[in-house]
Amino acid sequence: DVAYVNGVFTPLEDAKVSILDRGFLFADGVYEVAAVIDGRLVDNEAHLARLQRSLDALRLTSPAPMPEIVEIERALVSRNGIDEGLVYLQITRGAAERDFSFPNNARPTLVAFAQRKNILASPAAQTGVKILTVPDLRWARRDIKSVALLAQVLAKQAATEAGCQEAWMVDQEGFVTEGSSSTAFIITKQDAIVTRPNSTAILPGCTRRAVMALADQEGLSVEERPFTVAEAQEAAEAFLTSASNLVLPVVSIDGRPVGTGVPGERAKRLRAIYLNFARATAV
Ligand code: PMP
């Protein structure tokens, strides 16, 4: 496998950064993940726009302009022969003597790699996913896609140990914020698709944005408001979205079946609609 580190394509096992890198020492960096389908990047403009937004929030300047980043992504896809999978990009403030304040002369680090993954024939799309809810322990700027992911790691591990595939994090008022690496949705018995509005409380999902626009085009009603765990458990259906999982039906929350406990028809339809969009617009 070939990876990219600061201007150089190199075998993955040789791809290394300094132990003084601020991504490693302080999680002082941001990242993006875009899906690859049919060897092409899905909704990549949205991912690069969010990358720029995350960089701006950290007052970081990308070491490569966005068009060059796209070239790096494409090179990783083709050099690794990825037909279906994802491309991961990370930019940190670089290596410098350890000090909390920004260094004056560090060069930002840019690393990227590609991974193969079954996106279309995902087993989770057939079976649906089980959710464990956990308190949202994260900081107050969850809208930044930073590499500070410890709370999400602990949340996902708790889910795994409970036999679940994703954790939904819950704020102090009892409302679901989002999944550890996905956006949370429910569909009410009145047929409204409900998801939390974008704010500093959640990451603005690229898949969320596309699914909401597609649902709207289909004439489905979409409500942006917070929902509680109890409302989700009582909902007709639930689902999650993320770049590398597209749309996945949710079949249980904390052991309680959602709807009839099998993937819902509307969630399956939204997955199919999103997949059509993804394939039609991938570049
Ligand atoms: N929320 C969080 C916390 C995430 O890590 C992700 C995955 N990037 C998402 C939502 C979904 O975002 P996207 O659809 O852009 O992958």
The enclosing domain of 277 has a CATH number of: 3.20.10.10
pLDDT value, residue 4? 98
User: 84 and 117 in contact (C-beta within 8 Å)?
Assistant: yes
* Ligand 1 pocket, residue 208 CB under 6 Å: yes
108 and 141 housed in the same domain: no
Look at residues 116, 132, 165 and tell me which one is the last residue of a structural domain: 116
Nearest Cα to 241, choosing from 175, 191, 196?
196
Do 203 and 137 share a structural domain?
yes
* Å from CA of 99 to ligand 1 middle: 30
Looking at the structure, do residues 273 and 134 belong to the same domain, yes or no?
A: yes
Report the C-alpha gap between 175 and 196 in whole angstroms: 9
**79 and 133 both lie in a single domain:** no
Q: How far is 91 from 172, CA to CA, in rounded Å?
A: 31
Question: Contact at 8 Å (CB) between 70 and 13?
Answer: no
Question: DSSP letter at 146?
Answer: B
Torsion over CA: 16, 43, 238, 195 (sign): positive
Contacts of 154 (CB under 8 A, 6+ apart): 134, 137
Taking the centre of ligand 1 as the mean of its atom positions, its distance from the CA of residue 42, in whole angstroms, is 14
pLDDT band at 48 (very low <50, low <70, confident <90, very high): very high
**197 lies in the same domain as 277:** yes
CA–centroid distance, 142 to ligand 1, in Å, is 10
User: Residue 22 sits in a domain of what CATH number?
Assistant: 3.30.470.10
| Integer angstrom CA distances of residue 229 from 79, 83, 119, 253, 276 | 44, 37, 28, 8, 31
Tens of pLDDT, residues 105-145 = 899 999 999 999 999 999 999 999 999 999 999 999 999 99
DSSP secondary-structure letter at 169? E
30 in Cβ contact with 241 (< 8 Å):
no
Residue range 219-239, pLDDT digits in tens: 999 999 999 999 999 999 999
| Atom number in ligand 1 closest to CA 47 | 15
Length of the chain: 283
Q: Both 105 and 214 in a single domain?
A: no
Mean pLDDT throughout 152-166? 98
181 lines ligand 1 (CB under 6 A): yes
The verdict on whether 145 is a catalytic residue reads: yes
Q: Are residues 29 and 149 in the same domain?
A: no
Indicate the average pLDDT of the chain: 98
Query: Do 145 and 105 reside in the same domain of the chain?
Result: no
Give the ligand 1 atom nearest the CA of 207: 14
What's the pLDDT at 173? 98
Instruction: Report the pLDDT value the prediction gives residue 247, as an integer from 0 to 100.
Output: 98
Question: What is d(CA 70, CA 56) in angstroms, rounded to the nearest whole number?
Answer: 19
Give the Å distance between the CA of 181 and the centre of ligand 1: 5
User: Domain residues for 85?
Assistant: 2-116
Residues 272, 140 share a domain: yes
- Same domain? 245 vs 190: yes
Annotated catalytic residue within 130, 145, 189, 268: 145
In the chain, how many domains are there?
Answer: 2
Residue 139: the pLDDT is 98
Q: Choose which residue among 178, 180, 182 to substitute to test ligand 1 binding: the one with the highest number of ligand atoms within 8 A of its C-beta.
A: 182
152 and 262 belong to one structural domain: yes
- Which atom of ligand 1 is closest in space to residue 178's alpha carbon? 1
Residues 261 and 184 in one domain: yes
Task: Choose one of 77, 95, 116: the last residue of a domain.
Answer: 116
